[in-house]
Amino acid sequence: NDYVVNYYFPPGLPHGSNTTAFRSKMLQSYEANLQALYNGGARTVIIVGIPPMGCLPYTQEFYNTTLESSGCVNYMNSEAEILNGQLK
């Protein structure tokens, strides 16, 4: 997952962009890759959204001080929901 590996980790380090800018870059990358697939002859493509990344065991381990009562990092889950909504 690009968010978990390239944006949120390692915890505590400043990131070069806010989540809106990072999400925009990811969506542009999706679009470019889908266009390349289409140009290569693909006509049926399934895009699977990202999971609630704040509930991933890896995330829970490294962000254990910011876990909500759900046992997850809710702001990460919210970001996944926003991205998934924009993928449609």
Give the pLDDT confidence of 43-87 residue by residue, as tens digits. 999 988 889 988 988 888 888 777 788 888 888 899 899 999 998
pLDDT at position 20 is 86
* Residues 52 and 80: beta-carbon distance below 8 Å: yes
Residues 73 and 60: their CA atoms lie apart, in Å, by 7
CB of 23 within 8 A of CB of 6? Answer: no
pLDDT for 1? 60
